[in-house]
A and B are shown apart, each in its own frame.
Chain A
């Protein structure tokens, strides 16, 4: 039981440590899908936007947010879905992009393709498919080290 309402800053800090279920190296706040956190009276309202409308991780993400906040003693919680403005990879944090690259996933770029291979850094890369193992990724291959890799699609 929480004696006093935690500050919004504290709540954002908690959410910052909730990993994305598909790509656990980045957090939900890195991903930019948590749009707002507000106290409505004594209820904590968290506004979440989906990455892709059919992404199966969406329900897991909501469950993870709830679990994390309950563990911190939040009892009255409401999760609000927001469709507009639609999620864009522009909302991915800079630290999130760096973590993706370290993990072996090329971060999104407005140019529409990866800057270089996340492993050997060669700029000679080719697209295998617009789609990949999750809705947010495409498959690319490095023509230097020949390794296939994931590219986080720019939307």
Chain B
């Protein structure tokens, strides 16, 4: 097996990288200017966090790969992001629902990582948790505003929740990588975050007058890289195009 620490850092960095790219697809075309700016800011925070996570991953791996190399020179099967992050934007409501479902988990995850026995991981988490606190405040407010909004916005948000809920379970699935790191106090057991997540999400969904789907069926395969959805490959084709067409091109 690959070094669990490297795997774990790729998971963290690929989550933020892939979601950041998705969110950045709204730049210049969001419904209103303030939302456009907010989305671009969120994407920017996430790309900054990506540089820290993937930068550290490359350092741990020790093969001379930096954050850019990991981002632009790996193919789809080497990505370790959760399936939720790679789901297409859909309409604005679906984008904000995906953001909220991710942010609510991301905040708990980073709070736990702040207490990591690995000083570098703890420092990145300490930095990122401040940014993500803002993300979840805004995405939660937006889910409430649109869910408890007009008949049309309510319907769209319910549809988005139904569409995305089957991707939530993967955030809490524990495997050998998680177990190896949690045994050393480096990272939390994913399952340990579920209860607090459910409490937070249920409160927001209730205020948004949205109904959480009954089924807890969970699509899996993103964080292990075994089975990404077809959407990730298309996204990478665009994101990696320049470095693939012109290797080592610099700004």
Interface residues of A (CB under 8 A from B): 50, 52-56, 83-87, 128-133, 135, 139, 153, 155
A151, B4: Cα distance in complex, Å = 42
Secondary structure of the A contact surface, majority rule: loop
Check B48 against A52 for contact (C-beta < 8 Å). Answer: yes
Q: Which residues of B contact A129 (CB under 8 A)?
A: 34-35, 37-38, 138
Known: A53-B127, A83-B127, A86-B130. A135 touches B44 (CB 8 A): yes
Q: What 7 pairs across the A-B complex have the smallest Cβ distances?
A: A54-B48, A53-B48, A84-B123, A131-B38, A83-B123, A131-B41, A129-B34
A129, B36: Cα distance in complex, Å = 11
A132, B128: Cα distance in complex, Å = 18
Known: A83-B127, A84-B127. A135 touches B37 (CB 8 A): no
Measured between C-beta atoms, what is the minimum distance from B29 to chain A in Å?
17
Given contacts A53-B49, A53-B124, A54-B51, 11 further A-B contacts (CB under 8 A): A50-B127, A53-B45, A53-B48, A56-B44, A83-B127, A84-B119, A84-B127, A86-B126, A131-B134, A133-B37, A135-B45
A155, B129: Cα distance in complex, Å = 10
Q: Which residues of A contact B78 (CB under 8 A)?
A: none
B52 within 8 A of A: yes
Check A54 against B126 for contact (C-beta < 8 Å). Answer: no
A54, B46: Cα distance in complex, Å = 7
Interface residues of B (CB under 8 A from A): 34-35, 37-38, 41-42, 44-49, 51-52, 119, 122-124, 126-128, 130-131, 134, 137-138
Measured between C-beta atoms, what is the minimum distance from A62 to chain B in Å?
14
A139, B37: Cα distance in complex, Å = 10
A54, B124: Cα distance in complex, Å = 12
Q: Which residues of B contact A85 (CB under 8 A)?
A: 126
Check B34 against A53 for contact (C-beta < 8 Å). Answer: no
Measured between C-beta atoms, what is the minimum distance from B121 to chain A in Å?
10
Q: Which residues of A contact B35 (CB under 8 A)?
A: 129
B38, B49, B123, B137: the one within 8 Å of A54 (CB) = B49
A132, B138: Cα distance in complex, Å = 13
Measured between C-beta atoms, what is the minimum distance from B126 to chain A in Å?
5
Known: A129-B38, A135-B41, A135-B44. A52 touches B126 (CB 8 A): no
Q: Which residues of A contact B127 (CB under 8 A)?
A: 50, 53, 83-84, 86-87
Q: Which residues of A contact B124 (CB under 8 A)?
A: 53, 83
A56, B44: Cα distance in complex, Å = 9
B45, B47, B126, B137: the one within 8 Å of A83 (CB) = B126
Known: A52-B48, A131-B41. A139 touches B126 (CB 8 A): no
Task: Show 11 A/B contacts (Cβ-Cβ < 8 Å), sorted by A.
Answer: A54-B47, A55-B48, A56-B44, A83-B52, A83-B124, A83-B127, A86-B123, A129-B38, A130-B38, A131-B134, A135-B44
